[in-house]
């Protein structure tokens, strides 16, 4: 059981973590999700006692991390971001050192070390120096360091970063298996990972908690429109007129032409109304052949994007890009004018031609971007 109560972390004027509270039940796998720099690692570092919270308190299995750090830390196995380890030691030496640091009972230590090495699949490399291991193995060594001593709570900071797909799968399975006996907090910016592994998700952005819920609930919560994708035979243009015939359609949009001559449309209706049956009935009557009809699922990704909502930020960035390009164009315009002034009577040189073309292209790009935005 981990309780995080009104925790704030400030660096000077900058607030890295702003008054967050959540708790993790025994045997639960919880995911901290958020863009880079959201405060995930800071939160984890505070739970493990590596850094001190400016305000608020954190209680791990009944021990306050700032008041009883020794006992609280004993409950925790921590795998820091970037998987630091002692490069000059061998895998086994490292795990042994971690076991000793965690004061694992001398009698069971040897057995414990062997178990952990087996569990993380490190038997083959147990006598190799850590510095000679591949990234995937280093990750596992770090994991072994966190696991040794069988701590109740596991805190894993981005446990699958830098692994190949097979290793990711292995680590995920391992985490899932560990979640049966341990309380796990993991951080990630990979959404699919969190939705697969975690029972609950804490979404953090700019140091604040945006949402705490199960992945399923988050998907449902953020779904407020019913979206259907329909692919029809593209021989006639009747499709767009359907909108007038079915009053529940809020929006009907042409998406794309497929290679096989069919066309895809997007149909949006109110959350409570499922138009699939209606469409199946009405389209054949209008002499439109349905090739495909599917309901769009709101993924955790959509939920995440919606919650994070840094649309404002991205708009600003886009605007900046456009401004930059216009600035560039202006400069080029001036340059071109100068050239044409000095050689007024002369024919336009090929160089100038290409420059003009570039200008035109740039302008087109800008227009496109503006159009896209609107």
Q: Binding to other proteins by residue 69, rule CB under 8 A?
A: yes
Q: Binding to other proteins by residue 338, rule CB under 8 A?
A: no
By C-beta, is 94 or 304 nearer to other proteins?
94
Considering only 59, 60, 98, 308, the residue that binds other proteins (CB under 8 A) is: 98
By C-beta, is 148 or 308 nearer to other proteins?
148
Q: Which helix (H) or strand (E) holds 331?
A: helix 311-342
Closest contact distance (angstroms) between CB of 6 and other proteins is 17
Tokens of 210: 């945006």
Considering only 15, 86, 229, 336, the residue that binds other proteins (CB under 8 A) is: 86
Strand partners, 31: 186, 201
Residues 326, 340: Cα–Cα separation, whole Å: 21
Residues 153, 67: Cα–Cα separation, whole Å: 18
Q: How many CB atoms lie within 10 A of CB 349?
A: 12
Q: Binding to other proteins by residue 74, rule CB under 8 A?
A: yes
Considering only 25, 101, 124, 360, the residue that binds other proteins (CB under 8 A) is: 101
Strand partners, 265: 230, 254
Tokens 């380890």 correspond to what residue?
Answer: 85
Q: Binding to other proteins by residue 102, rule CB under 8 A?
A: yes
Q: Binding to other proteins by residue 100, rule CB under 8 A?
A: yes
Closest contact distance (angstroms) between CB of 94 and other proteins is 9
Count Cα neighbours of 226 within 13 Å in the Cβ-side half-sphere.
14
By C-beta, is 37 or 84 nearer to other proteins?
84
Q: How far is CA 257 from the centre of its chain?
A: 31
Count, residues near other proteins per rule CB under 8 A: 30
By C-beta, is 95 or 228 nearer to other proteins?
95
344 secondary structure, DSSP code: S
Q: Binding to other proteins by residue 54, rule CB under 8 A?
A: yes
By C-beta, is 24 or 239 nearer to other proteins?
24
Residues 353, 349: Cα–Cα separation, whole Å: 6
Q: Binding to other proteins by residue 49, rule CB under 8 A?
A: yes
For residues 27-46, which are near other proteins according to CB under 8 A?
A: 45
Q: Binding to other proteins by residue 73, rule CB under 8 A?
A: yes
Q: Binding to other proteins by residue 55, rule CB under 8 A?
A: no
Q: How far is CA 271 from the centre of its chain?
A: 26
Residues 201, 187: Cα–Cα separation, whole Å: 10
Q: Binding to other proteins by residue 76, rule CB under 8 A?
A: yes
Furthest CA-CA distance within the chain: 97
Considering only 31, 34, 39, 80, the residue that binds other proteins (CB under 8 A) is: 80
Tokens of 167: 């290793």
Yes or no: say if 154 and 178 are a contact pair by the CB < 8 Å rule.
yes
Residues 341, 275: Cα–Cα separation, whole Å: 64
Which positions lie near other proteins, rule CB under 8 A?
Answer: 11, 45, 48-52, 54, 69-71, 73-74, 76, 78, 80, 82, 84-89, 97-98, 100-103, 145
């Amino acid at each position: 059981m981990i309780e995080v109560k009104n925790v704030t972390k400030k660096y000077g004027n900058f607030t890295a973590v702003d008054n967050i509270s959540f708790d993790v039940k025994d045997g639960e796998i919880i995911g901290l999700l958020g863009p880079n720099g959201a405060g995930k690692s800071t939160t984890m570092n505070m739970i493990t006692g590596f850094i001190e919270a400016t305000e608020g308190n954190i209680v791990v299995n009944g021990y306050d991390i700032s008041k009883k750090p020794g006992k609280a830390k004993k409950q925790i196995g921590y795998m820091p971001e970037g998987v630091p380890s002692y490069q000059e030691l061998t895998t086994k030496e490292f795990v042994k050192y971690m076991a000793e640091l965690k004061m694992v009972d001398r009698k069971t230590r040897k057995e414990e070390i062997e178990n952990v090495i087996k569990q993380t699949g490190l038997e083959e490399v147990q006598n190799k120096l850590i510095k000679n291991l591949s990234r995937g193995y280093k990750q596992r060594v770090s994991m072994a360091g966190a696991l040794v001593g069988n701590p109740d709570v596991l805190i894993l900071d981005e446990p699958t970063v830098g692994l190949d797909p097979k290793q990711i799968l292995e680590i995920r399975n391992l985490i899932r298996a560990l979640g049966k006996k341990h309380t796990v907090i993991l951080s990630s910016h990979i959404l699919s990972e969190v939705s697969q592994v975690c029972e609950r998700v804490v979404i953090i952005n700019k140091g604040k908690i945006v949402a705490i819920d199960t992945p399923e609930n988050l998907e449902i919560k953020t779904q407020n429109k019913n979206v259907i994708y329909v692919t029809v035979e593209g021989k006639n243009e009747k499709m767009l007129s359907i909108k007038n015939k079915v009053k529940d359609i809020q929006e009907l949009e042409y998406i794309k032409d497929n290679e096989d001559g069919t066309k895809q449309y997007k149909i949006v209706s109110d959350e409570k109304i499922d138009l699939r049956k209606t469409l199946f009935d009405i389209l054949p009557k209008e002499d439109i052949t349905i090739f495909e009809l599917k309901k769009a699922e709101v993924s955790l990704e959509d939920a995440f994007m919606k919650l994070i909502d840094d649309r404002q930020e991205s708009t600003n960035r886009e605007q900046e890009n456009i401004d930059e390009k216009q600035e560039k164009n202006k400069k080029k315009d001036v340059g071109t004018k100068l050239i044409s002034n000095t050689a007024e009577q002369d024919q336009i040189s090929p160089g100038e031609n290409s420059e003009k073309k570039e200008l035109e292209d740039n302008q087109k790009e800008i227009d496109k971007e503006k159009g896209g935005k609107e």
